[in-house]
Amino acid sequence: MAIKTRISELLKIDYPILQGGMAWASTAELVAAVGKGGGLGIIGSGQAPLEWLQEQVYRAKKLTDKPFGVNVMLLSPYAEDILNFLAREKVAVVTTGAGNPGKYVNMLHDAGIKVIPVVSSVALAKRLERTGVDALIAEGLESGGHVGELTTMALVPQIVDAVQVPVIAAGGICDGRGMAAALMLGAEGVQMGTRFMCAAECTIHERIKEMVIKAKDRDTVVTGRPTGHPVRILKNKLARQFLEMEECCRASDEFEKLGVGRLRLAMVDGDVEMGSVMAGQVSAMVSEIQPAESIIREVVSGAQKVITDIYNGKVSARSC
Ligand code: TUI
């Protein structure tokens, strides 16, 4: 059964589930598979050059007739070129991360594109609502990659109360219980990244999928706080080096140097020790590789089950 919210209507999808646009991980194959499963697939551009992104967009258009999105990481030196390209290509949706996309909203709207920024604070949510964005993704610090300061549990209801546009919850959500909880907090959709890293169609290196599957509850850590861009990654040799640097208060440019190319090294080359394995706290809850379509089916039926059970007075929502 479909789940109808303002998000599923806005994005013309069966289920209000977005696949996080993860750099070097969310490629055209995954995006097409998520679309087939009834969710919204999102290509991750990260810091990749324009040519890489162009190839992904062209491939996604060949692989699927469903709407899809592209995530633009606003710290990327290629962000502006990528946004101009996306306006020309008229992709259905643009999500943004790691910054304020306010100055691009009109240009994207003129091209008929829905604009959905990721935010981690109420102040930015309110500011962006005034620019006319279509929806917001409220991302808590449980997520992988670049993180804010508030948990999903605290952030989502505060943003829901502060804005009129529909809100999508992200960070710490990987199953039906998480989706149901997000809906209870007032969100009208969820975005999941880590669970989709272990989708069969996700093209990241198998060693990284294994690492996520083996991860336990305390296996992620936030590094890079002194740079102003804290990033959650799975613990490995690189994470230990970052943490050592933080203890000796080294200069920010040393962090930048150590970080260059590390995400690609993990996701594409499968370097589990010296790559930056950006993954969320729910890594410990991801236990197998499954087709994206099954992931979506399981999450939706799990959410429907716990909501119905609780409505009927059965108050335990174990493992849905
Ligand atoms: O963007 C993400 N997650 C990411 S981006 C990434 S690649 C990267 N490369 C170099 C440095 C850092 C990251 C890996 N993972 N998530 C969305 C997100 N955006 N989370 C938090 C924010 C955010 C933070 C501050 C959005 C806006 C913001 O605004 C600052 C301002 O300008 O007001």
pLDDT digits (tens, 9 = 90+) for 30-60: 999 999 999 999 999 999 999 999 999 999 9
- The protein residue whose alpha carbon is closest to atom 5 in ligand 1 is 146
CA distance 149 to 151: 7
Report pLDDT for 255: 82
Residues 247, 226 contacting (CB under 8 angstroms) = no
- Give exposure, 178-206, as e/b (b: 16+ Cβ within 10 Å): bbbbbbebbbbbbbbbbbbbbbbbbebbe
Q: Could you tell me if the CB of 189 is within 6 A of ligand 1?
A: no
For residue 316, CA distances in Å to 30, 186, 297, 320 come to 33, 21, 21, 10
CA distance 281 to 272: 17
**How far apart, in Å, do the first and last CA atoms of the chain sit?**
16
Max Cα distance, the chain (Å): 57
Ligand 1 pocket test, candidate residues 53, 71, 73, 155, most atoms within 8 A of CB: 73
CA distance 120 to 127: 12
C-beta neighbour count of 90 within 10 angstroms: 10
Distance of CA 161 to the CA centre of its chain: 22
Mean pLDDT, consecutive 10-residue segments, the chain of 320 residues?
92 98 98 98 97 98 98 98 98 97 98 98 98 98 97 98 98 98 98 98 98 98 92 98 86 81 96 97 98 98 94 72
- The protein residue whose alpha carbon is closest to atom 23 in ligand 1 is 98
CA distance 98 to 90: 22
CB-based contacts of 62, cutoff 8 Å, min separation 6: 28
Residues 160, 167 contacting (CB under 8 angstroms) = yes
- The protein residue whose alpha carbon is closest to atom 11 in ligand 1 is 229
- The protein residue whose alpha carbon is closest to atom 30 in ligand 1 is 99
Q: Could you tell me if the CB of 124 is within 6 A of ligand 1?
A: yes
Report pLDDT for 64: 98
Q: Could you tell me if the CB of 134 is within 6 A of ligand 1?
A: no
Q: Could you tell me if the CB of 99 is within 6 A of ligand 1?
A: yes
C-beta neighbour count of 161 within 10 angstroms: 10
CA distance 69 to 83: 12
Q: Could you tell me if the CB of 137 is within 6 A of ligand 1?
A: no
3: alpha, beta or left, given left = phi > 0 and alpha = psi -120 to 50?
Answer: beta
What atom in ligand 1 is closest to the CA of residue 46? 7
As beta bridge partners, residue 94 has 70, 115
CA of 122 to the centre of ligand 1 (A): 15
Q: Could you tell me if the CB of 73 is within 6 A of ligand 1?
A: yes
What atom in ligand 1 is closest to the CA of residue 124? 33
Report pLDDT for 250: 65
Report pLDDT for 261: 94
Going across the sheet that includes 93-97, the strands are 17-19, 189-192, 167-170, 136-139, 114-119, 93-97, 68-73, 41-44
Q: Could you tell me if the CB of 23 is within 6 A of ligand 1?
A: yes
CA distance 40 to 58: 17
Amino acid at 59: R
